[in-house]
């Protein structure tokens, strides 16, 4: 046993010992004067009687005391080797227990209390650790326990039987309560443990991003990288809460979690930056040749998928390039100075016209634009844009991205929605959203009609197949009226016009009647 009785006496030792009578130095009696014999006998008789009386009285007193001592000893005998009633340590009564039994009982109780609390640290189905009071620095303070047991033992095992009996009786009235001081909970090991867990929870947020622009997919033209929420493991806050659970003895499962860190950019935000701003389609005539249709396809393919950054300009001639056989274009009819002639690249003006209408209704700024000399079949007057690129002559169409975000262009030839046998030219423009319920449309008005000239225009038939002689003529095309057209860009909100902006005033000159004339002199 790691402790001993404080008085170094075994419980069986009896503390009481009678005191020895002291003996003084003997002196011979002085000779009395010579009394007579009777007087001498009388003088010697009284001291003897007195001494005998004292002895009898002493033996009586001693016998009574011994009897009392034996009675008290019998009363405290049950507690000679055990703790007396009325002794409590850590709230546990140890009466009737031997010192080793008391030690084991208290140690078992303290160990049970250490193991009475546990907390599982879980994260997404995984248990990182199970905490106990031992993890948090609590221990069995056995040195304190030994001291309390010794102190409690000495209460009823020190002094004579009467002192010990008095101590036992006193405990019935005023019990002894000893308490091992509880060791402080420490978060040092918990701090280390949480620091090791933190890297598994901490995560940087991931911003959404546009991974790819696929212009030929009108339903899902953009592929996005999804945003991901980040997490920050707040060690001080978690540590404080776990220590509070430990102090309250709240066992169970603790779900670890990180404080959410939102991404800076979300897919929803990106979709606002790549919304459909405009979609324009112009019909391709059923009389349009395959060569002409191919020229439209080629010119549109050169701009399909283009991304125009804020402040950048788009030039049709630079993007599409020279219309030559070497560049892949075909010969087809095209309008030159008001006449339809066969040329390489015929049909690309339908692409530029469609692009013009798309950029206007997308709210972009037009830099260069020229009209045809005559009305075209695929566009209203005031809404066309002609282009030309040859040595010595260039007519360009250009616009600028004046929005704060990128502009994305999707361009193609596709079947008409109302007839798979007919084709249309389609251009879609994506960028910063125009706003919920907002759209644009073009509205052209003829403000003046110009009368056609009365004089004629002649074209010599060098072949002689239409007319032969110089005095012969045949109508090639009738005279045409001219027009002055004003075009407006209308802003609509939920289908209602809320704003009207002037765009252009275009004049289409009247045309003379054109006649063929023969080349052969009259006989």
Q: Express each pLDDT in 435-470 by its tens digit.
A: 999 999 999 999 999 999 999 999 999 988 899 999
415: closest CA among 407, 425, 405?
A: 425
SS (H, E, C) 328-384: CCCEEEEEECCEEEEEECCCHHHHHHHHHHHHHHCCCEEEECCCCCCCCCCCCCCCC
Mean pLDDT across the chain, nearest whole number?
A: 88
* Helix, strand, coil tally for the chain in percent (to 5): 30, 30, 40
Give the pLDDT of residue 47: 65
What is d(CA 484, CA 509) in angstroms, rounded to the nearest whole number?
8
| Mean pLDDT, rounded, for 383-405 | 93
Rounded-to-integer distance, Cα 291 and Cα 284, Å: 13
Nearest C-alpha neighbor of 515 from the set 462, 472, 461, 457: 457
Lowest-pLDDT range of 20-29, 221-230, 248-257, 313-322: 20-29
The average pLDDT across 215-224 equals: 95
Return the ∠ at Cα 515 (arms to 509 and 517), rounded to 5°: 140
Judged by average pLDDT, the poorest of 52-61, 154-163, 267-276 is 52-61
pLDDT tens-place string over residues 104-113: 999 888 888 8
Inter-residue contact 136 to 191 (CB < 8 Å): no
Answer whether 0.85 is exceeded by the pTM.
no
Cα–Cα distance measured from residue 43 to residue 20, given in angstroms and rounded to the nearest whole number: 29
Q: Which residue has the higher pLDDT, 420 or 41?
A: 420
d(CA 204, CA 166): 74
The three-state secondary structure class of 82 is: coil
Confidence of residue 141 (pLDDT cuts 50, 70, 90): confident
pLDDT value, residue 115: 84
End-to-end, the C-alpha distance of the chain in Å comes to 154
Please tell me the least confidently modeled range out of 142-151, 218-227, 358-367, 441-450: 142-151
- Split at pLDDT 50, 70, 90, the class of 144 is confident
- Distances in whole angstroms, Cα of residue 486 to Cα of each of 251, 371, 504, 508: 81, 13, 6, 11
Q: Is the dihedral of CA 338, 340, 342, 347 positive or negative?
A: positive
pLDDT at 43: 59
Residue 338 scores a pLDDT above 80:
no
Confidence bin at 185 (pLDDT 50/70/90): confident
Report percent pLDDT > 70 for the chain.
87
Among 24-28, 32-36, 223-227, 467-471, the minimum mean pLDDT is found in: 24-28
Residue 498 has pLDDT above 60, yes or no: yes
**Number of alpha carbons in the 13 Å side-chain half-sphere of residue 439:** 11
The answer on pLDDT for 181 being more than 90 is no
Give the model's confidence band at 37: pLDDT under 50 very low, under 70 low, under 90 confident, else very high: low
Q: Give the model's confidence band at 184: pLDDT under 50 very low, under 70 low, under 90 confident, else very high.
A: confident
pLDDT at residue 178 tops 70: yes
Q: What's the whole-number mean pLDDT along residues 63-79?
A: 85
pLDDT band with cut points at 50, 70 and 90 for residue 22: very low
Band of pLDDT at residue 4, cut at 50, 70 and 90: very low
pLDDT above 70 (res 295) = yes
Whether the per-residue pLDDT at 20 is higher than 60: the answer is no
């Amino acid at each position: 046993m790691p402790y001993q009785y404080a008085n170094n006496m075994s419980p069986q030792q009896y503390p009481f010992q009678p005191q020895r009578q002291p003996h003084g130095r003997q002196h011979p009696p002085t000779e009395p004067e010579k009394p007579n014999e009777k007087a001498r006998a009388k003088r010697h008789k009284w001291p003897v009687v007195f001494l005998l009386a004292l002895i009898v009285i002493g033996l009586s007193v001693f016998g009574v005391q011994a009897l009392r001592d034996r009675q008290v000893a019998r009363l405290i005998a049950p507690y000679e080797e055990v703790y007396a009633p009325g002794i409590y340590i850590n709230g546990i009564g140890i009466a009737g227990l031997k010192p080793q039994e008391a030690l084991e009982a208290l140690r078992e109780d303290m160990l049970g209390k250490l193991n009475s609390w546990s907390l599982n640290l879980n994260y997404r189905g995984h248990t990182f650790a199970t905490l106990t009071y031992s993890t948090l620095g609590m221990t069995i303070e056995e040195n304190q326990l030994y001291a309390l047991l010794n102190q409690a033992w000495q209460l009823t095992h020190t002094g004579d039987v009467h002192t010990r009996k008095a101590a036992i009786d006193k405990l019935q009235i005023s019990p002894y309560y000893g308490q091992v001081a509880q060791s402080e909970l420490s978060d040092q090991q918990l701090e280390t443990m949480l620091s090791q867990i933190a890297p598994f929870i901490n995560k940087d947020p991931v911003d959404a991003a546009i991974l790819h622009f696929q212009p030929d997919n009108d339903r899902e033209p953009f592929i996005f990288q999804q945003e991901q929420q980040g997490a920050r493991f707040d060690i001080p806050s978690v540590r404080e809460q776990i220590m509070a659970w430990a102090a309250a003895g709240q066992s169970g499962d603790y779900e670890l979690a990180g404080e959410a860190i939102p991404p800076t950019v979300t897919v929803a935000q990106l979709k606002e930056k790549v919304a459909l701003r405009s979609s324009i389609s112009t019909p391709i005539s059923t009389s349009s040749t395959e060569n002409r249709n191919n020229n439209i396809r080629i010119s549109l393919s050169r701009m399909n998928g283009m991304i125009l950054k804020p402040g950048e300009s788009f030039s049709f001639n630079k993007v599409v390039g020279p219309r030559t056989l070497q560049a892949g274009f075909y010969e087809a009819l095209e309008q030159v100075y008001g006449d339809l002639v066969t040329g390489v690249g015929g049909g690309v003006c339908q692409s530029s016209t469609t692009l013009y209408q798309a950029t206007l209704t997308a709210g972009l700024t037009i830099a260069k634009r020229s009209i045809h000399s005559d009305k075209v079949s695929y566009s209203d007057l005031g809404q066309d844009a002609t282009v030309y690129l040859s040595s010595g002559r260039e007519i360009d169409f250009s616009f600028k991205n004046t929005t704060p975000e990128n502009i994305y262009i999707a361009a193609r030839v596709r079947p008409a929605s109302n007839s798979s046998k007919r084709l249309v030219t389609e251009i879609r423009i994506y960028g910063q959203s125009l706003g919920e319920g907002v759209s644009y449309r073009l509205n052209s008005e003829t403000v003046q009609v110009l009368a056609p000239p009365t004089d004629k225009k002649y074209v010599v038939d060098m072949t002689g197949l239409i007319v032969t002689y110089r005095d012969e003529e045949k109508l090639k095309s009738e005279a045409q009226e001219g027009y002055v057209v004003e075009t407006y860009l209308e802003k609509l909100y939920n289908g209602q016009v809320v704003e009207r902006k002037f765009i252009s005033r275009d004049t289409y000159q009247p045309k003379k009647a054109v006649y063929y004339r023969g080349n052969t002199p009259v006989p």
